[in-house]
Amino acid sequence: MASTACFMIISKNDIPIYEAEVGSALKKEEAAHQHQFILHAALDVVQDLAWTTSAMFLKSIDRFNDLVVSVYVTAGHTRLMLLHDSRNDDGIKSFFQEVHELYIKILLNPLYLPGSRVTSSHFDTKVRALARKYI
């Protein structure tokens, strides 16, 4: 498991709808903020890159210092972003694919307004379990 990992889901309107610090390292608020700043900045790169490929998984697209940003763009242009310091591309890909499935289940909920925050605790638990498994 990676020591640092920050997973976020960004809606197509660039609003974060889910965030989780899934790294094994001690959680510091400062660091968590920095992670989000890096992910936010990486959106600029994703924005251009997403249209150059038909693949959903864009691999690692950006980095700052030792932290790498991997991105998975769904068809609805929701971006699953992971900031990590490990180099386990396959694991990350599987992680993204399974989280995507979970996210689709959330979308199927008629009470969920697309683009609003994902507040399901079930989703949170599942995502963290997946992170432990793959990253």
Partner 1 sequence: MEPDVSIATSSMIRIAVIPVGEIHLHLFRKYAGMLDRHHKIELSTITSFYKVDKKSPFQQQPWESGSLRFKFIVGGSPPSPWEDFQSNRKIHGVIGICYCPSSPDLGSVAEQFAVACKGYASSVVQRCFVFSPGDKQLADGNNNKNKLVLFPPADQRAQEIHLQTMMQEIAASLLMEFEKWVSRPESGGIILKTPLDSQASLSSEEVIKATKRRLGRAQKTTGDYCLLAGSPVDANAHYSTALELARLTGDHFWYAGAMEGGVCALLMDKAVQKDPVIEEEVKYRYNSVIVHYRKSFIQDNAQRVSPLSFELEATLKLARFLCRRELAKEVVDLLTAAADGAKSLIDASDRLILYIEIARLYGTLGYHRKAAFFSRQVAQLYLQQETTFSAISAMQVLALTTKAYRVQTKASIPDQPISTDGEGGKVNHNSVVSLFESQWSTLQMVVLKEILLSAVRAGDPLAAWSAAARLLRSYYPLITPSGQNGLATALHNSAERLPSGTHCPDPALPFVRLHSFPLHPSQMDIIKRPTDRPDWWAGSAPSGPFIYTPFTKGDQTTKQDLIWVVGEPVQVLVELANPCGFPLIVNSIYLSVNSGNFDSFPISVTLPPNSSKVISLSGIPTKPGPVTIPGCHVHTFGAITQHLFKDVNNLILGAQQGLVISDPFRCCGSGKVKTTHVPEITVVPSLPLLVSRTVGGDGAVILYEGEIREVWVSVANAGTVAVDHAHVSVSGKNQDSVISIGSEVLESALPLKPGAEVTIPVTLKAWQLGVTDYKDASSPILLIHYAGPTEKNHEPPPGRRLVTPLNISVLQGLSFVKARLLSMEIPAHVGQIKISENSNSENSSLVKIDPYRGSWGLRFLELELSNPTDVVFEVGVSVNVNVDRNSSEFDYPKTRIDRDYTARVLIPLEHFKLPILDGSFLVTNSKSNKKAEVNASIKDLISKIKVRWVSGRNSSGELHIKDATQAALQTSVMDVLLPDPLTFSFRLIDQVDQGQGGVMAQNMTPMEVLVRNNTKELISMSLSVTCRDVAGENCIEGTNSAVLWSGALSGMKVDVPPLEEIKHSFSFYFLVPGEYTLLAAAVIEDPNEILRARARCSLSDEPIFYRGPPYHVRVNGTL
Would you tell me which residues interact with partner 1 (CB under 8 A)?
13-16, 19, 32-33, 36-38, 40-45, 48-49, 62-65, 113, 115-117
Nearer to partner 1, 116 or 125 (CB): 116
- Exposure string of 74-87, with b = 16+ CB inside 10 Å and e = fewer, is beeebbbbbbbeee
As a whole number of angstroms, the distance between CA 103 and CA 110 comes to 13
Cβ nearer to partner 1, comparing 117 with 128: 117
Those residues with Cβ within 8 angstroms of residue 105's Cβ, 6 or more apart along the chain or in another chain: none
Q: How far is the CB of 61 from partner 1 (least distance, A)?
A: 9
Q: Which is nearer to partner 1, 42 or 99 (CB)?
A: 42
Least spacing, CB of residue 97 vs partner 1, in Å: 25
Closest CB to partner 1 among 52 and 90? 52
Tell me the residue type at 20: A
Residue 93 CB, shortest distance to partner 1, in Å, is 22
Q: How far is the CB of 42 from partner 1 (least distance, A)?
A: 8
Indicate if the alpha-carbon torsion angle 123, 127, 128, 132 is positive or negative. Answer: positive
